[in-house]
Amino acid sequence: AQSVTQLDSQVPVFEEAPVELRCNYSSSVSVYLFWYVQYPNQGLQLLLKYLSGSTLVESINGFEAEFNKSQTSFHLRKPSVHISDTAEYFCAVSELGRSNDYKLSFGAGTTVTVRA
Amino acid sequence: DTGVSQDPRHKITKRGQNVTFRCDPISEHNRLYWYRQTLGQGPEFLTYFQNEAQLEKSRLLSDRFSAERPKGSFSTLEIQRTEQGDSAMYLCASRRKGGSKVTGELFFGEGSRLTVL
């Protein structure tokens, strides 16, 4: 079974400053990795994903994440945050369940609060 | 709107009452998932369906919980004799079967928040 560890539960950051959210997973097999974002009182939205190929993946709103197989990490970064990036961010790994189909396992989440 | 929809968005109930949540997945998605999210935690897998068949249930799903997807379209999650510990956000998600990349990526609804008094 997979496990996902998000090392920071709360990350306060000033507007226009960079931010990094750390995510580590445990696995001995190939994985698919995801970052989801949850704005207040909303459901989860996919931010970006790593399936294969280039280890650096980007989202349309300036976030990027790098898959590091040797360190089993998938950290999320943004060089300059906006107030609107205030949200909760979840790292997730896709794993095969008992029914031989994929399901997502999530980390506990990191709350990002952007201040002016 | 062709996203995943959930109803009701909020439910407040007294301990011991039964509650039912409904999820309508994206129309061409044959896989449907239920997750539970408590305060300060990430979503935890409860159960999932392929069409009308319930293929897997988490140990988190006690006997008071039952989920159905009778016609392979919408799904219901019923909680009987609710307890205060059942207070949480119940998330529904869906995805297509197969395709060129079977990765587990899910599309989530906005959730149904349950408060048990």
Q: What is the DSSP letter of A27?
A: -
pLDDT bin (cut points 50, 70, 90) of residue B100 is: very low
Cβ neighbours of B108 in A, within 8 Å:
36, 43-45
**Omega cis (within 30) before B25:** no
A105 touches B: beta carbon within 8 Å: yes
Q: What gap in Å lies between CA B49 and CA B71, rounded to an integer?
A: 11
Contact B109, A109 (CB under 8 A): no
pLDDT one digit per residue (tens) for chain A, 116 residues: 568 999 999 999 999 999 999 999 987 666 789 999 999 878 899 999 988 788 888 888 899 999 998 899 999 999 999 999 999 999 999 876 666 677 788 999 999 999 99
Q: Which of A26-35, A49-58, B6-15, B45-54 has the highest mean pLDDT?
A: B6-15
Contact flag B108-A95 (C-beta cutoff 8 Å): no
Q: What gap in Å lies between CA A79 and CA A62, rounded to an integer?
A: 8
pLDDT bin (cut points 50, 70, 90) of residue B98 is: low
Please give the C-alpha separations between residue B25 and each of A15, A40, A66, B112, in angstroms, as whole numbers.
37, 22, 31, 14
- Does B104 score more than 90 pLDDT? no
Chain centre to alpha carbon of residue B84: 18
Across the range B7-30, mean pLDDT stands at 95
Contact A23, A91 (CB under 8 A): yes
For residue A46, how many C-alpha atoms fall within 13 Å in the half-sphere facing its CB?
Answer: 17
The 3-state DSSP class for residue B31 equals: strand
